[in-house]
Amino acid sequence: MTYAVAQAAAILATALFIFSLYWMNDPKTARHAVVAGVTGMVVAVLATWFQPEIVHHGWIVLAIAAGFLVGVPLSLVPLTAVPQRTALSHAFGALAASLVGISEYYLHGAGLGQFKMSALSFEVLLGSLTTTGSLVAFAKLQGLMPGSPLTYKGQNIFNLSLLAVTIICFVCLLFFPGASLLFYLMLILAFTFGVLLVLPIGAADMPVVIALLNSYAGLAAAATGMVIGNNVLIIAGTLDGGSGFILSIVMCKAMNRSITNVLFGAFGSVSETTQASEGQMREIGLDDVAVQLAYARQAVFVPGYGMATAQAQHVLRELADALEDRGVTVKYAIHPVAGRMPGHMNVLLAEASVPYSQLQELEVINPEFPSTDVAVVIGANDVVNPDARDNPKSIIAGMPILEVDRAKIVVVLKRGQGKGFSGLVNPLFFKPNCGMLYGDAKESLTNLVQAVHNA
Ligand code: NAP
């Protein structure tokens, strides 16, 4: 009876996880996706808890309490800190997988068959390297250590050799599962490899690495499911691993990078970022911008990280409303890696009730820029850097950008001369059709709404 209920619960949880991923595809159903995911997790935890072999209920209650203690503050971080929060979550998930593997090995060691031993070693290897890799990614994104790539001579050869020794330990363990020294050596090497893997990665590549670590954490969880015979864990881990991997590929495409290049290319190292820019930035007055917008036929807003930090999405919507009242066509151009997490701009604009139909993806909006009267860049920088298109020597060469420089007039809202995430100078700001409206994005937009009403 208990077995049948557990199987039914496993099927229900699995279905909820699959629907959760499916509903995440569309902002209209994204809330259902969150509810389905949370419900699936609650069902999975309860179904596992009520198994007859679980006898120490006090420990489960303690673990749930500890989860709440850590999880609640983590859920309160601002959206701009979500990448580092996600990195921490991956570290926790991967550490859990690794610890389960270590305890299983400690309990059964030499008695494990070849299949279980391979799943267990895989789980410990991936779990351990993901734990330390995610912690380094967290430290970089949180500014606790330099965000730029940390490189040294022979780094790739050293890292690959270390990985090779780790894999040799892995293979040997399949034939000699009782060789505990090898197991613990593999564990230490995997923890070390995680650190070394992420140290040389920096700048704009961090989002891809986070997605990749997500994938590793999921696969480690799936392997845990195989070791302890938990089907929900196998399915949830595989879904997590698969979706994380697809996300890394999508992000690589959005930045025109290959996974190997991300992992071994040390993109964004300081020596590569030096570049020249010609001309002078031209400051533009608020009233001029208001008049240009008020009499435009089409205005395109290009939000970026600065809009998120300024929390300017609501007042941006107010400006759009004021312009639409005057007959201006308003569109929003969305770059896949604008902000600090995938879908960051979509989430913020949805929060401000911007109609989803006005959000245009890169391929759709780029051909429209030449016929756009005013493109307003709100705290975006890297995603509108024309060097990616025009300068083959730039470290972001080939990364698809929003081609705002092709609009008739470009207005950039930013606080000063600050650079973007990649640390590059942006030649857009020096172009003759570009004017800089300095100030906090929310403040500038608030003043613009007023000025448009008066125009
Ligand atoms: P960005 O290149 O990081 O530039 C943001 C700009 O916003 C800065 O130049 C800054 O200039 C300005 N800014 C900051 N606070 C502001 C405020 N309160 N008001 C007005 N302006 C403000 O942003 P992006 O163009 O959105 O590009 C995103 C970058 O992050 C890409 O390089 C991407 O690869 C990377 N990234 C993306 C993700 C993701 O998944 N989306 C995750 C991690 C990293 P001032 O200081 O002069 O104001």
Whose CA is closest to atom 46 on ligand 1?
Answer: 418
Q: Which atom of ligand 1 is nearest to the CA of 416?
A: 47
Q: Which atom of ligand 1 is nearest to the CA of 344?
A: 41
Distance 397 CA to ligand 1 centre (A): 18
Please check whether residue 284 is in contact with residue 411, taking contact to mean a CB–CB distance below 8 angstroms.
Answer: yes
pLDDT above 70: percentage of residues in the chain = 96
Q: Which atom of ligand 1 is nearest to the CA of 417?
A: 47
Over the stretch 138-195, which tens digit does the pLDDT of each residue have?
999 888 988 778 888 888 899 999 999 999 999 999 999 989 999 999 999 999 999 9
Distance 142 CA to ligand 1 centre (A): 15
Which pair of structure tokens corresponds to residue 185? 């050596």
Q: Around Cβ 138, how many Cβ atoms within 10 Å?
A: 22
Q: Which atom of ligand 1 is nearest to the CA of 304?
A: 26
As for ligand 1, residues whose beta carbon falls within 6 Å of it are: 83, 204, 206-207, 304-306, 309-310, 337-342, 344, 379-383, 413-422, 440-441
Q: Which of 251, 381, 394, 410 to mutate to test the pocket of ligand 1 (most atoms within 8 A of CB)?
A: 381
Distance 358 CA to ligand 1 centre (A): 22
Report the pLDDT value the prediction gives residue 280, as an integer from 0 to 100: 82
Q: Around Cβ 42, how many Cβ atoms within 10 Å?
A: 12
Distance 255 CA to ligand 1 centre (A): 15
The DSSP result for 312-359, as a single string, is -HHHHHHHHHHHHHTT-EEEEEE-TTSTTSTTHHHHHHHHTT--GGGE
Q: Which of 414, 434, 438, 447 to mutate to test the pocket of ligand 1 (most atoms within 8 A of CB)?
A: 414
Q: Which atom of ligand 1 is nearest to the CA of 337?
A: 41
Distance 305 CA to ligand 1 centre (A): 4
Distance 431 CA to ligand 1 centre (A): 20
Phi (first) and psi of residue 10, to 5 degrees: -65, -40
Q: Residues in the chain with pLDDT < 50?
A: 269-274
Distances (CA, A) of 291 to 294, 378, 409: 5, 18, 12
Lay out the sheet containing 329-334: strands in order across: 359-361, 329-334, 298-303, 374-378, 409-414, 434-438
Whose CA is closest to atom 16 on ligand 1?
Answer: 306
Q: Which of 84, 251, 337 to mutate to test the pocket of ligand 1 (most atoms within 8 A of CB)?
A: 337
Over the stretch 110-144, which tens digit does the pLDDT of each residue have?
788 888 899 999 999 999 999 999 999 999 988 89
Supply the residues annotated as catalytic: 382
Over the stretch 385-421, which tens digit does the pLDDT of each residue have?
999 999 988 878 888 999 999 999 999 999 998 988 8
